[in-house]
Structure 1
Amino acid sequence: MHFSLTPFELLRPGIWRAVAQPAGVNIGLVAGSTGALVVDTGSSPEQGEQIRDAAAAVAGVPVVGAVVTHAHYDHFFGLPAFDDLTTYGHESLIQALGTEAVAIDAALVDLEPDELRPPNRPLSLARMIDLGDRHVELVHFGRGHTAGDVVVIVPDAQVIFTGDLLEESAPPAMGPDCFLKEWPAALDGILGLVREDTLLVPGHGNPVDRVFAFTQRAQISAVYGQVEHLIGEGVKPDDALAVGDWPFDADTIAAVLPTAYAQLAAEGKVPRTRLRLL
């Protein structure tokens, strides 16, 4: 697999983003007067080294740490390149390294799971990082895209790196490890901080504004609400795509329906055949 990185582009003073291929992941860089923080680390240790070198060349100060927004390989697997620095991520990333999903993803990029590393400074809820004349806030607003989504907030610049809680280049990836019902609440945590001038950097795609974020939050909520409604109407999973009113394209909905039905079934909500009244 070929890994590449676009040059870092300046978003706001002391804040940049690059795009790591082949997964099209936004890599953030936040610099203060004494150090710089990398946001997400790419798909492999090799790509992590590439990101670290590029960040050091741009930041003008030493790279002092890296944060991973969640456990998916394209954001997480470059972390070993930063293992001698302070690295951050949600505490669930430690358990994620032992899962079958990580083993499968590691094989896809020709890695063994024991080549990967968890963050050495895990967090459960929040942490602040001092970069000199700038501080960065790391916050876990709750489960959503995964169990361990971490949002990176730069208050003085009104920039927020959202990870894959938001995506711009495609519909949000609502995979089997998402928490569909809780996802909108995690986004509410972000939206509570958003002002008119806030720049939101999603996990994939171009930076977005609060209107985009509010819209995508409503769409994700609508998926869960629509499945809940269809279950109440007795609609089985195989029929849901055809009869539902969906905010995303058919492929996206077809992929998330098994997860949505399974998560609602865990709450005791399953389609029931309605008897005809005589």
Structure 2
Amino acid sequence: MPDTAPRFTEVAPQVWVAHYDWMQVNITLVGGSDGLLMIDTHGSAAEARVVADDVRRLGAGPLTGLVNTHEHWDHHFGNATMVEQFGEMPIHATDWAAEHMEVSAGHAFARYEQDTEHPRREEVLATTLRLPTRTFSSAVQLDLGSRAVELIHPGRGHTAGDLVVRVPDADVLVGGDLVEESDPPSIGDDSWPLEWPLTLDLVLGLMSDTTVVVPGHGKVVDKAFVQDQRAELGVIAETIRDLASRGVPRSEALATGEWPWDPELLESAVRLGYEHLPRSQKRLPLI
């Protein structure tokens, strides 16, 4: 017999999280008297249909709104499916994420088009892009009837358009990919490694010592976990600043620095860090 147990687990009053094996993605539901708000929608139409079935199985109310934490495809390729399954609803994101989502999705489609052996190729390419309909620059409050939810852009980090979701009355914070548990946070070609630690300082300021933190990928964590991850990102940023100030060439930085993570994960961090540093903090030679 098929498993009919709800995949969504209640981590705080009327806040549920479902964890999916593909990419270790988390989907969060926040309930209020007016319905459910879904935070992120997974990475393909096919997987989003699984999520939709899980929402129905939970039976906690109608889905009335979506939030995309940033523009990367694995967090919003389910948007169109949710609208198809549950009807028209607002889709929230930062201005930056909404403006860059189409280009970012195009890069993802191109990668899967070229990777003819990938087992998920066809389902990703079959996905229809659905862009956010409501955007903001710094912060906005959503009214779920019996509960207010805050969307906050704390600064640049994983991307230039990350948002976090705060549920004050439940003491929950959904961190998107500013926080990851299943792997070290991904510092990609569109990240801001020198600013990420300060962005997390603002995020930490939104937490209490007992806040439940939902990362973009992996298990639910706490404030102490985020503090530790912030410290590691801070070491990376300060190491880049130190190497550049001593005139270590970018090509030698990964081999020269003492890094908290595998240096192979930090190629983009070093390149971007050197590019983002002002000239006053660099010393020749830096080729």
TM-score range, shorter chain: 0.7 to 0.9
| C-alpha contact 1:93 1:118 (8 A) present in aligned 2 | no
The equivalences for 1:1-150 within 5 A come to 7-83=7-83, 84-99=88-103, 101-107=104-110, 108=112, 109-110=121-122, 115-150=128-163
Q: Do structure 1's residue 158 and structure 2's residue 171 form an aligned pair?
A: yes
Tell me the secondary structure at the aligned position of residue 132 of structure 2: coil
| C-alpha contact 1:103 1:113 (8 A) present in aligned 2 | no
> What residue is the counterpart of 1:3 in the other structure?
none
- Runs of 4+ aligned structure 1 residues displaced above 6 Å come to none
Deviation of the 1:134 alpha carbon: 1.7
Structure 1 counterpart of 2:23, which letter?
A
Deviation of the 1:176 alpha carbon: 0.9
Selected match of 2:235 from 222, 228, 235? 222
Task: Specify whether residues 158 and 106 from structure 1 end up closer, same or farther in structure 2 by C-alpha distance, changes over 3 A only.
Answer: same
Higher relative contact order (CA 8 A, sep 6+): 2
Q: Do structure 1's residue 272 and structure 2's residue 280 form an aligned pair?
A: no
Structure 1 runs not aligned, ≥5 long: 1-5
| C-alpha contact 2:94 2:136 (8 A) present in aligned 1 | yes
Structure 1 counterpart of 2:107, which letter?
I
TM-score (norm 1): 0.88
Separation (CA, whole Å) in 2 of partners of 1:219 and 1:40: 26
Percentage identity across aligned positions? 37
Bigger shift: 252-261 or 236-245?
252-261
Per-residue CA distance 1:33-58 (angstroms, 9 max, x = gap)? 23111110100233223323322331
Bigger shift: 162-171 or 108-117?
108-117
Deviation of the 1:268 alpha carbon: 6.2
Structure 2 counterpart of 1:105, which letter?
A
Task: Specify whether residues 129 and 217 from structure 1 end up closer, same or farther in structure 2 by C-alpha distance, changes over 3 A only.
Answer: same
Tell me the secondary structure at the aligned position of residue 213 of structure 2: strand
> What residue is the counterpart of 1:169 in the other structure?
182
User: What is the aligned-residue RMSD (CA, Å)?
Assistant: 2.2
Per-residue CA distance 1:40-81 (angstroms, 9 max, x = gap)? 010023322332332233142111011010011111211112
| C-alpha contact 1:69 1:89 (8 A) present in aligned 2 | yes
| C-alpha contact 2:91 2:134 (8 A) present in aligned 1 | yes
Separation (CA, whole Å) in 2 of partners of 1:104 and 1:75: 15
TM-score (norm 2): 0.85
Structure 2 runs not aligned, ≥5 long: 1-5, 113-120
| C-alpha contact 2:193 2:269 (8 A) present in aligned 1 | no
Task: Specify whether residues 20 and 267 from structure 1 end up closer, same or farther in structure 2 by C-alpha distance, changes over 3 A only.
Answer: farther
> What residue is the counterpart of 2:210 in the other structure?
197
Task: Specify whether residues 59 and 162 from structure 1 end up closer, same or farther in structure 2 by C-alpha distance, changes over 3 A only.
Answer: farther
Q: Which has the higher helix share?
A: 2
